[in-house]
């Protein structure tokens, strides 16, 4: 009797355990928080009859639909209709959900109606006046919120730089934020055939308050008639959504496993007019350099000068759950392949240098060899550190 009871008890414990495991599995979805900028009385920018808040929402809803088609993905919306949500609340929605990524969608605008192109921001310092101006404009929304002065304790919307000291503690998310941002811009430029203004850092309040890899996409300028019309069109929104979804899925597959869905991105037919846009910003610290460096591939690294005591830059080509032989044939002819094993993934890297500029050239070389989503990784004493940390050293 005693034995039978014990047995019954352990069956109960065991089945409880299974229930717990099962619910843990259903909760272990890959969570993406989509944030449609502005809403309700905060309309965002408006030009030529195009209204930013509506375009942001339309892109977000289309993007969410594509992501949700994958049952392993859970999408959480900061707003899915025309309502007003505080900036800090948008970030808190993502924090409470313990999201894997936070993606905020906006449209850019400029008094000069010529500039066009998309730009993706990650949180951080900006050396560029115009990046700061964009952050300032997007942050100014808080002045429409109730009690914003107490809620944002001393933050001055006119000097977004004041967010920086508080944000340095969050550097751990910067690598993946930059990687996601680079993939988005890469997709918008190379898959969708739209003009890319690259990746930049700027102090956005909504990014500052969210604790996970996070980006803010300025999908294009609605002040530019052509681009505004594209962003305002069903087709344009669908293609922006597809391209951003493609980048998010690539990050998911790379870092969290799973398979890549097929996303058919329809190339924008009008060719991009290269360099015709007036420059409204200087180079920023982490601008995606893929465009510039594609032109200068001839540089080969000087491997023998690598100092193991200094920061080492390598180019990550791909990650794989199974081991790949580190020979040139397996890597489209690239040699000097090394790898690290991280969380069940073999991460394969090309090149090794103490010089960031050389590494950028190696990145360009990797991309010309077909590794479109390659990126730079940095090590100090054999330990991976963030690119930002490395550049400070």
Binding site for Zn ion (CB under 5 A): 37, 44, 106, 138
Nearer to Zn ion, 231 or 349 (CB): 231
Nearest-approach distance from CB 104 to Zn ion, in angstroms: 9
Nearer to Zn ion, 32 or 107 (CB): 107
Nearer to Zn ion, 90 or 106 (CB): 106
- Within 140-293, where are the H helices? 148-151, 164-167, 174-186, 205-208, 225-232, 234-256, 290-293
Nearer to Zn ion, 218 or 365 (CB): 218
Characterize 281-319 residue by residue with b for buried, 16 or more Cβ atoms within 10 angstroms of its Cβ, and e for exposed.
Answer: beebbbbbbbbebeeeeeeebeeeeeeeeebbbbbbbbb
Nearest-approach distance from CB 185 to Zn ion, in angstroms: 18
- The token pair that represents 141 in the structure block: 């929304």
24 torsion bin: left (phi>0), alpha (psi -120 to 50), beta (else): alpha
- The token pair that represents 228 in the structure block: 């505004």
Nearer to Zn ion, 106 or 183 (CB): 106
Q: Which of 110, 126, 122 is nearest to 283 (CA)?
A: 126
Nearest-approach distance from CB 118 to Zn ion, in angstroms: 13
- Radius of gyration from C-alpha coordinates of the chain: 23
**3-state percent helix, strand, coil for the chain, nearest multiple of 5:** 45, 20, 35
Nearest-approach distance from CB 37 to Zn ion, in angstroms: 4
Nearest-approach distance from CB 191 to Zn ion, in angstroms: 24
Nearer to Zn ion, 230 or 345 (CB): 230
Q: Which of 255, 219, 186 is nearest to 32 (CA)?
A: 255
Distance CA 138, CA 32 (A): 21
Nearer to Zn ion, 138 or 186 (CB): 138
Nearest-approach distance from CB 183 to Zn ion, in angstroms: 22
Nearest-approach distance from CB 251 to Zn ion, in angstroms: 23
CA-to-CA separations, 5 to 2, 9, 14, 15, 17, in angstroms, rounded: 5, 6, 14, 15, 18
């Amino acid at each position: 009797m005693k034995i039978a009871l014990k047995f019954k008890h352990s069956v109960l414990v065991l089945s409880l355990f299974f229930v717990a495991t099962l619910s843990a599995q259903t909760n272990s979805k890959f969570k993406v928080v989509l944030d449609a900028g502005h809403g309700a009385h905060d309309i965002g920018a408006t030009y030529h009859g195009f209204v930013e808040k509506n375009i942001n929402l339309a892109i977000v809803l289309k993007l969410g639909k594509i992501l949700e088609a994958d049952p392993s993905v859970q999408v959480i919306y900061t707003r899915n209709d025309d309502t007003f949500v505080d900036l800090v609340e948008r970030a808190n929605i993502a924090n409470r959900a313990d999201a894997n990524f936070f993606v905020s969608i906006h449209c850019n605008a400029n008094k000069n109606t010529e500039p066009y192109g998309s730009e993706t921001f990650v949180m951080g310092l900006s050396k560029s006046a115009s990046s700061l101006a964009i952050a300032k404009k997007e942050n100014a929304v808080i002045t429409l919120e109730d009690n914003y002065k107490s809620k944002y304790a001393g933050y001055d919307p006119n000097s977004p730089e004041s967010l920086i000291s508080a944000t340095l503690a969050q550097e751990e998310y910067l690598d993946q934020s930059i990687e996601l941002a680079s993939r988005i811009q890469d997709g918008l430029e190379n898959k969708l055939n739209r003009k890319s203004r690259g990746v930049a850092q700027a102090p956005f309040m909504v990014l500052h308050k969210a604790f996970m890899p996070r980006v803010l996409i300025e999908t294009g300028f609605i002040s530019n008639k052509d681009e505004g019309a594209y962003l305002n069109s069903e087709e344009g929104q669908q293609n922006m959504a597809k391209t951003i979804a493609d980048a998010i899925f690539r990050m998911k597959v790379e870092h969290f496993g799973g398979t890549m869905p097929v996303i058919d991105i329809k190339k924008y037919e009008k060719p991009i007019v290269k360099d015709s846009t007036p420059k409204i910003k200087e180079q920023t610290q982490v601008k995606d350099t893929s465009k510039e460096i594609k032109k200068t591939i001839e540089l080969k690294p000087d491997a023998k000068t690598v100092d193991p005591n200094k920061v080492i830059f390598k180019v990550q080509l791909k990650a794989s759950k199974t081991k790949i032989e580190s020979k040139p044939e397996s890597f489209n002819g690239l040699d000097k392949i090394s790898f690290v094993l991280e969380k069940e993934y073999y991460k394969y890297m090309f090149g090794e240098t103490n010089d960031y500029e050389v590494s950028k050239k190696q990145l360009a070389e990797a991309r010309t060899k077909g590794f479109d989503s390659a990126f730079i990784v940095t090590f100090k004493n054999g330990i991976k550190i963030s690119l930002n940390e490395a550049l400070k050293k």
